[in-house]
Amino acid sequence: MSVRITGLSRRFNGQAALDDVSLEIARGEFTALLGPSGSGKTTLLRVLAGLDFPDAGLVEIDGRDVGQVPARERRVGVVFQHYALFRHMSVAENVAFGLRVRPRATRPAAAEIDRRVRELLELVQIPELAGRFPDQCSGGQRQRIALARALAIEPLLLLLDEPFAALDAVVRKDVRRWVRGLHDRLGITTILVTHDQEEALELADRVAVLDRGRLAQFAPPATLLEAPATAFVAGFLGEASCIPARLSGGRLESPLPGLAAPPAWPDGALRLFLRPHEVAVEAGPGPGLVRMVHPSLGAGTRVVLELEGHVLEGVVPPGLPVPERGGPCGLRALAATAFHEDGSRARLA
Amino acid sequence: MEFDIAYLLRYLPSLLRGLALTVQASGIAILLSILVGLVGACIRVARVPVLSQLIVAYVEFIRNTPLLVQLFFVFFGLPALGLTLSLFWSGVLSLTLWAGAFQVENVRGGLAAIAPGLKEAARALGLNQAQYLRLVGLPLAVRVGLPSMLNTCVSVIKNSAYLSAIGVQELTGVAFDRIASDFRAFEMLAVLLAGYLSVVLSLSAAVRLLEHRLQAPFRR
């Protein structure tokens, strides 16, 4: 086990940023910490890096309790959101920095440091930038410099704090695939902090979803989408819309037709989560009010609509007429994930 | 009244000696005060117990009392405490203490302007506080604080004129002595202004060159 977190709590002025979080991450695994802002994901990253200290709980890296170990002795590489490069040093100096500042006894020889820096710059594919300064590099290049700098100390654990947030959309996709490829080659245990579900689901072997300081679910991406453990996870992932409903006398009372009541559930309030492809929209009279229409290739036309005050997204199957914006439309649920107020979950169809 | 060049030329050698002393006294005070500023700001930022509070008291004391009184205190007061310095070194010490307080604040401002993420990046890479300040904090802080540090240096040169009050024969001292004996104020005052202006302008030019070099990494 490479990283083990047990019962971790951290409060700021009485407010819990992390509340009894436990996770185990295998050596070499690529994990994402996913959650909205304020969910505690960055606090967790800072605690792992040794930049912040928990009020309770245990953090072990490679079997060693690092609770009292300061950041500089943890061998944790961090790529910060805004890269935090040293502007007064050249790219090569930035990358070499973590080695040069070591005490003499553990510091590699100058020639060895130079060799390592060249190697790392090759690895991140920017050898030609060695003599430049960070301000003279583009966003994507700075990100690679930050990565090379973090890798130079041969970290046991690599932490990436929203590393793609400052890149434009096209570069971002390229860079994140490249980062995943790099991880697969180097095999360093990596934790990515992000609020972007697409990023987390694409990159990570397993995703830890955080909800207001608590771990909501820690599972592979497919499991999160197919079997969300809580209503929060269901709502946060996969562009789901949420519609309230009721069970009374075994009958489902929902503004949305097409769903059968879950068998053997007690009466009470439900929340239905529907992904766009689970809501079929058709032109013509109906209870829906079309708010936006955005055409797409192949998969049908996406429609944002309003139903009894709730906003949801649906799809008009390919080939069928598309309703007009501002006009009415008919709709039907094909499937949904339901959460009962008692916490139990079921798939409805 | 006419501007008498011949009169001026007669006393030029002593005026130049005075100018040399002005440059010496302010030069030493500027260098020492920058040292005080760098060390003092680091102590404040690292929150070294006791020392940090002493720096705060020192800065407040200097900022809120007149330089002239500080100078008199060093020259006339310190001997009573058993520390007797020459005229020159009393002047240098006063200027250093005065400018040092301002440089502490200049450097501290520069350190405060550094993004907090940089310090965390340094910690994550294995630096301790002292290494961070020496290798990252101060190099960046000095770049940010350079204009205000230059201001303080310029003030040191101008304020070195106060040294004439305790009898140091720097530029102002020499000129005022001549005015007192010959009653020819116009030539001497003109020379004084020109003398200070030339020293300050040379310093500013030198600092601009330094700034240009220091800013090289930040130019695209």
Residues A10 and A91 in one domain: yes
The CATH number for B94's domain is: 1.10.3720.10
DSSP H or E run through A244: strand A241-248
Residues A140 and A171 in one domain: yes
Residue holding tokens 């559930």? A265
Q: How many domains does chain A have?
A: 2
Q: How many domains does chain B have?
A: 1
The CATH number for A155's domain is: 3.40.50.300
- The mean pLDDT value of chain B amounts to 92
Helices (H), chain A: 41-49, 91-100, 110-123, 139-152, 169-186, 197-203, 221-226, 231-236
Domain residue limits at A273: 239-348
Whole-number percent of chain B with pLDDT over 90: 74
Report the alpha-carbon distance of residue A340 to residue A155 in Å, rounded: 45
Q: Are A315 and A335 in contact (CB under 8 A)?
A: no
Domain residue limits at B143: 5-218
Report the alpha-carbon distance of residue A192 to residue A157 in Å, rounded: 11
In this predicted structure, what is the pLDDT of residue B153?
95
Residues 46-65, chain A: which have Cβ within 8 Å of B? 49-51
Interface test with A, best of B114, B119, B125 (most A CBs within 10 A): B125
Residue pLDDT, tens place only, B105-154: 999 999 999 988 899 999 888 888 999 999 999 999 999 999 999 999 99
Q: Of A203, A232, A261, which residue is a domain's last?
A: A232
In this predicted structure, what is the pLDDT of residue A240?
87
In this predicted structure, what is the pLDDT of residue A190?
94
The list of chain A residues with pLDDT below 70 reads 1, 297-298
Residues A247 and A309 in one domain: yes
| Joined tokens for residue A316 | 């008009």
Report the alpha-carbon distance of residue A294 to residue A253 in Å, rounded: 30
DSSP H or E run through A158: strand A157-161
Task: Decide: residue B73, CB within 10 A, 0-12 exposed, 13-18 middle, 19+ buried.
Answer: middle
At residue B1 the predicted structure's pLDDT band, cuts being 50, 70 and 90, is low
pLDDT greater at residue B94 or residue A341:
B94
Interface test with B, best of A99, A101, A143 (most B CBs within 10 A): A101
Report the alpha-carbon distance of residue B144 to residue A313 in Å, rounded: 51
| Joined tokens for residue B25 | 């006294």
Amino acid at A298: G
Residues A206 and A331 in one domain: no
Q: Of A179, A199, A232, which residue is a domain's last?
A: A232
Name the nearest CA neighbour of A250 among A239, A264, A240, A238: A264
Residues 126-185, chain B: which have Cβ within 8 Å of A? 126-128, 131, 135-136, 139-140, 143
Residues A224 and A170 in one domain: yes
Nearest to A102 among B126, B216, B217 (CB): B126
The CB-based long-range contact list for A194-197 (8 Å cut-off, 24+ gap) reads A194/A32, A194/A33, A194/A34, A194/A41, A194/A162, A194/A164, A194/A165, A195/A34, A195/A35, A195/A36, A195/A37, A195/A41, A195/A162, A196/A164, A196/A165, A197/A34, A197/A236, A197/A237, A197/A238
A286 three-class SS: strand
DSSP one-letter string for A185-235: HH--EEEEEES-HHHHHHH-SEEEEEETTEEEEEE-HHHHHHS-SSHHHHH
Residues A35 and A171 in one domain: yes
Q: Are A260 and A327 in contact (CB under 8 A)?
A: no
Q: Of A232, A253, A283, which residue is a domain's last?
A: A232
How much helix, strand and coil, in percent to the nearest 5, is found in chain B? 85, 0, 15
Q: In what order do the strands lie in the sheet with A206-211?
A: A76-79, A157-161, A189-194, A30-34, A206-211, A214-219
At residue B104 the predicted structure's pLDDT band, cuts being 50, 70 and 90, is very high
pLDDT greater at residue A252 or residue B159:
B159
Report the alpha-carbon distance of residue A65 to residue A58 in Å, rounded: 7
In this predicted structure, what is the pLDDT of residue A60?
92
Name the nearest CA neighbour of A159 among A147, A170, A171, A169: A147
Residues 6+ apart with CB under 8 A from A35: A41, A195, A209, A210, A211, A236
Report the alpha-carbon distance of residue B218 to residue A232 in Å, rounded: 45
- Phi/psi for A261 (5° steps) reads -70, 140
Residues A164 and A23 in one domain: yes
In chain B, residues with a C-beta closer than 8 Å to the C-beta of A150 are: 124
CB atoms within 10 A of CB A49: 22
Nearest to B217 among A50, A87, A101 (CB): A87
In this predicted structure, what is the pLDDT of residue A173?
84
Residues A203 and A296 in one domain: no
Residues A225 and A173 in one domain: yes
